[in-house]
Amino acid sequence: SARADTAGAAHGGEQAEAVMPGAQALGMPSGGPLPEGLRLPLERKDGVLHGCLTAAPLNLPLLPGGKPTAFWAYNDSVPGPAIELLEGETLALRFENRLPQATTVHWHGLPIPADQDGNPHDAVPSGQAREYRFTLPPGSAGTYWYHPHPHGHTAEQVYRGLAGVFVVRSRNDTLAHLPERWLVLSDLKLDGDGQIAANSEADRMDGREGQFVLVNGAWQPRLTLGMGERQRWRVWNATSARVLKLALPAHEVWLVGTDGGLIERPRRVEYVLLPPGARVELAVTGRFAPDKPSGLLALPYARGKMMGPEQDKALPLVGIEAGAAVATAALPRRLGKVAALPKPTVRRRVVFSEDMANPAAMFLINGQTFDMDRVDFVGKVGQVEEWEIDNQADMDHPFHLHGTQFQVTERHDGQGWKKEPFLAWRDVVNVPPEQKVRLRFRQELPGPRMFHCHILEHEDAGMMGVLDVRA
Ligand code: C2O
Ligand code: CU
Ligand code: CU
């Protein structure tokens, strides 16, 4: 984490002259407290956890001898302070906006009331404050995050540094015995003066990608993993637009959880595809082989960009050194239960398309761009819906829905429908061009819920709609 007071070790390289702050945030002990200063201080009063979150400008010295880089940050930290709660707990957060523009705090993925969810309709003007208050329902254990969601300025506020993680724990967590690491992947694009660059025309089309993919605010940090040691990793894709094909070639990796919590059984994986906004939980065991690179990589992935070049080389994200041998902790065969959602009573279609001839309305959902005063779909509390997301555009668009978690049931790869091989709770799913995804969900709370492409530039450009859930 990059904090004003602890700009730490430098990680040099030819790729950039920027010196990123240190990697002190990488290791977090099992179930125990996060390093102080990286976690939001919470105070328990009458059974409610109270905290304060402030969004404000922050200058961080990144370049040796140069001018500090001007970020926007939550509580002077990039990424923002981590929030960790138990299912059933209530959070009351006083939020203060000291940015020069309006903002909101959106609790990405959490099943909380719509009027607490930081919708663009509920802006907090510059210089003002509000309280966000919500209770985490049973079954909500999972890996979430928070970020701004103001009308038209989400991308800018996130790329300036506003994002933090939110973990909900269960009291009967089948992986509580594993030591944890939390890796927040974000993107940093600097201009020649070491300042955060504004979005270019290509960024607005393809979604922004900077020179750096940061891990907990550090560039290419190194960590130590014991030989044979099994850890639980939570990984967040907090970049604007990168589809990260994550691999740890030397190590043994099992997928154990998705956005909304644990899956039923561990699945051995060679890589995971993590679209913008999505999270994953992995069980990673330290195996070291001289012929395999030891580290976390983003493998090349072509997402059909219109203007910029595709990533053609593996991107090293984290270096991993071999530590002392450690007895490998058991990985339970049953992690938990993911109950399949029943047959839907409502079916809808969401078509993504692009209209390159119309710069004012380029990224469309069902032929329209976002309108704050329009309701696109009317839903009902408790009803099971099935949505078919049909990407008729030329690039990948990751679909995201607020207020609940969904289950992907089938994917159409252009040839035919394929049943999803396992049950999982998600709130983001990548949809490549000419492909389709079917997903089911149930909204348990009333109110307007946003759905949109999680490439933040596309969201800002209007690739977003509103599902109004009525009681
Ligand atoms: Cu992570 Cu509507 O957003
Ligand atoms: Cu969200
Ligand atoms: Cu998109």
Is the minimum distance from the CB of 449 to ligand 1 under 6 angstroms? Answer: no
Mean pLDDT of 3-30: 35
Contact at 8 Å (CB) between 216 and 185?
no
Q: Is the pLDDT of residue 250 over 50?
A: yes
- Minimal CA–CA distance to 144: which of 126, 160, 164, 162? 164
- d(CA 226, ligand 2 centre) in Å: 36
- Pick the ligand that lies closest to the CA of residue 463: 3
Distance separating alpha carbons of residues 375 and 466, to the nearest angstrom:
5
Phi, then psi, of 6 in degrees rounded to 5: -135, 35
Return the domain boundaries, the chain: 2-169, 180-325, 346-470
Is the minimum distance from the CB of 108 to ligand 1 under 6 angstroms? Answer: yes
Cα–chain center distance at 459: 15
CATH number assigned to the domain covering 346-470: 2.60.40.420
- Minimal CA–CA distance to 321: which of 251, 216, 219, 270? 251
- Pick the ligand that lies closest to the CA of residue 147: 1
Residues 22/259/234/104 CA torsion (nearest 10 deg): 30
Distance separating alpha carbons of residues 170 and 261, to the nearest angstrom:
10
Is the minimum distance from the CB of 277 to ligand 1 under 6 angstroms? Answer: yes
Q: Whose CA is nearest to atom 1 of ligand 1?
A: 108
pTM of full prediction above 0.95: no
- d(CA 305, ligand 3 centre) in Å: 10
Predicted confidence band of residue 32 (pLDDT cuts 50, 70, 90)? very low
Round the average pLDDT of the chain to a whole number and report it.
91
pLDDT at 366: 98
Phi, then psi, of 23 in degrees rounded to 5: -110, 35
- Minimal CA–CA distance to 34: which of 171, 179, 148, 135? 179
Query: Where is mean pLDDT largest: 20-34, 219-233, 382-396?
Result: 382-396
Assigned CATH class of 2-169: mainly beta
Contact at 8 Å (CB) between 262 and 236?
no
Is the minimum distance from the CB of 118 to ligand 1 under 6 angstroms? Answer: no
Residue 314: exposure state from Cβ atoms within 10 A (0-12, 13-18, ≥19): middle
List, for residues 303-345, the tens digit of each pLDDT value: 999 998 999 999 999 999 999 999 999 999 999 999 999 999 9
Is the minimum distance from the CB of 452 to ligand 1 under 6 angstroms? Answer: yes
Of the candidate ranges 11-25, 140-154, 288-302, 358-372, the one whose mean pLDDT is the lowest: 11-25
Same CATH fold assignment for domains 180-325 and 346-470: yes
Q: Whose CA is nearest to atom 3 of ligand 1?
A: 108
Cα–chain center distance at 150: 17
- Pick the ligand that lies closest to the CA of residue 398: 3
pLDDT at 35: 47
Ligand 1 atom at minimum distance from 109 CA? 1
Q: Using the structure block, give the residue that is written with the tokens 């977090």.
A: 28
Q: Is the pLDDT of residue 418 over 70?
A: yes
Ligand 1 atom at minimum distance from 450 CA? 2
- Pick the ligand that lies closest to the CA of residue 155: 1
Q: Is pLDDT larger for residue 434 or for residue 64?
A: 434
Mean pLDDT of 3-32: 35
pLDDT at 222: 86
Predicted confidence band of residue 425 (pLDDT cuts 50, 70, 90)? very high
Ligand 1 atom at minimum distance from 428 CA? 1
Whether the bond between 79 and the residue before it is cis, its omega within 30 degrees of 0, is yes
Predicted confidence band of residue 220 (pLDDT cuts 50, 70, 90)? confident
| DSSP 3-state of 205 | helix
Of the candidate ranges 25-39, 74-88, 141-155, 254-268, the one whose mean pLDDT is the lowest: 25-39
Assigned CATH class of 180-325: mainly beta
pLDDT at 95: 98
DSSP secondary structure, 11-32, as one string: ---TT-S------TTSEE-TTS
